[in-house]
Structure 1
Amino acid sequence: MEESDFELLGEYYSMLERQGPGSPETTLKALSFVEVQRPIVRIADIGCGTGAHTLLLAEYLPGSQVTALDLFPVFIEQLNANAAQAGLQDRVKGITGNMEALPFEPDSLDLIWSEGAIYNIGFERGIREWRAFLKTGGYLAVSEISWLTQERPSELQDYWAAAYPEINTASAKMAQMEAAGYTPRAAFVIPENCWTDHYYSPQVAVREAFLEKHPGNPAVKAFIENDRAEADLYERFKQYYSYVFYIGQKV
């Protein structure tokens, strides 16, 4: 990705409350499967975006310290501003960084969280490498694009084979989690409104504003066209795929 494209992506998605499908209700449902047998103190939110779910974690785990990491500096600036506005600046710290080189000590985290972002490193690689940073008994909670059926239309299969070859069924992902050294605790499909009401619908106005801000920019035009095509793909084939939340405990 060229630097100009990177900056444009950051600018566009910083205009949205969420940088991927999800909702407050889904975040809290996933959190409900984290059994608090001991205090959840140190949390890492990896690929945090502008922090919609980051602040929820801090609010619902009042004794916690949350380090939120993302590659886009503009997201981190916005997250830290949102944390300060919510009075959470003492417990939420946003940092710019790469999920391939996390700045945490081994066996130091009680909970690793990642909503709609682990695909950037790959699910199997991510859960294996990130495990080293968790304390024994610590939790991993990630949402990952997954097939909901064993068979699907060739158009959809071809799209995801090119976009994210690691897409697989929930049962396959759970098996990968077990093989990586976790006890699977839960897996659930995020509801349709996480895609429509909380992700695609808010983009309608943002797309037009973004095009007006960058008139005649071919990279912006191509990006918006691809974004619309992705939304159309979901509308036509949503019964075949979605994000699934996976919650596991390090053994």
Structure 2
Amino acid sequence: MTIKAVLFDFSGTLFRLEHDPSWLTGVTDHRGDPLDVEAQAELMRRMTAPVTLTVDLDDEHLHAWHHRDLDPTLHRKVYLEVLRQSGIPRVEQAKALYGKLVDPAAWTPYPDAGEVLRSVSSSGISVGVLSNIAFDIRPAFAEHGLDAFVDEFVLSYEVGAIKPDPEVFRIALDRLGVAAEHTLMVGDSEEADGGAARLGCAFALVDPLPTAVRTDGLLTALREHSVL
């Protein structure tokens, strides 16, 4: 298979929302006590889990959860509820933490993300970023000088479809003008990103580990598919 385009997921693939201890300074639980290390780690996991539902939601919030990446309002609503159920009862604290989740400047690129995007783009292969997301991630790429290496951003809340719906992959392929059989999808979720395989794309799975731990996951994935 000759790869003519590579589609990358965003969260857990190219970038990661790393735990900054300063975000939780002064944050307290329902008893007014500071969160311990375990609680902080679980809170961050719940904020960034791409597919897994980690709390019990009523019907209203469950609907918001399933549609969160299609509507910024629903995204905010359900994540504030997730934070409340995760031990952050004070609304102002939950809103501040949510603000970090949707702030592109708070996201950290993986160590090899820049090298991979530059190398793929310079080799004449089209690059797309395809993300289930409810906020604009383009500024995150611009901040690190990586936007120049991305030909198309396909964001679920802008196009009205979410992975693994085949429609969102078709939109990305159409925008890049490349057939599925000449496209590699790289992502951290076999359930969501792996949906590209149903259209005939190749798929590479990466582990959404902390950026300090996964230093060459993208390079390895692309080399295994003979892209680099």
Normalising by the smaller structure, the TM-score range is 0.3 to 0.5
Q: TM-score, normalised by structure 2?
A: 0.37
Q: TM-score, normalised by structure 1?
A: 0.34
Greater strand percent: which structure? 1
